[in-house]
Amino acid sequence: MSIFKVNLIAVNPKDEYRCTPSVEALVDKGSELTWLPCEVLIHIGVHPRRERTFLTATKQLVTRTVGYAILRTEGYETAYEVVFAQPGDMTLLGVRTIEGFGVMVDNVAHRFVAQTTLAGVAGLSCP
């Protein structure tokens, strides 16, 4: 496994003119969600929606609030749940966001590679 970082921008989904400056985030396929500093999210008007409990790499249980943001990096964009990271927490780009971008991680070249999104059922139409 390789380690690399990307520059990530979070956007308020209710007001897309409100966005963060570029934030350096560690690409972490072991993290389910993306973690961004709480003060960065609050500054753009993203609000906590609920609390979730997480098991850290050091086997600690921590509780953090989560909300919703549009996330952008390297020409990719998705809307997803983000964790309001507290001081001392890492800034992480998690696997759900990576999947939302429709990319796979090239660990050798330290980049994202676009992939075709799988469809559940093809050929059916809605009434």
Of 10, 15, 7, 6, nearest in space to 71 by CA: 10
Domains within the chain, CATH numbers bracketed: 5-114 (2.40.70.10)
Is residue 119 pLDDT above 70, yes or no?
Answer: no
What pLDDT, on a 0 to 100 scale, did the predictor assign at position 2?
A: 64
Tens digit of pLDDT for each residue in 91-113?
999 999 999 999 988 878 878 88
pLDDT tens per residue, range 43-76 = 999 999 999 999 988 899 999 999 999 999 999 9
Give burial (CB, 10 Å; 0-12/13-18/19+) of 12.
buried
Predicted local confidence at residue 62, as pLDDT = 96
| DSSP SS3 for 90 | coil
> Which pTM was predicted?
0.87
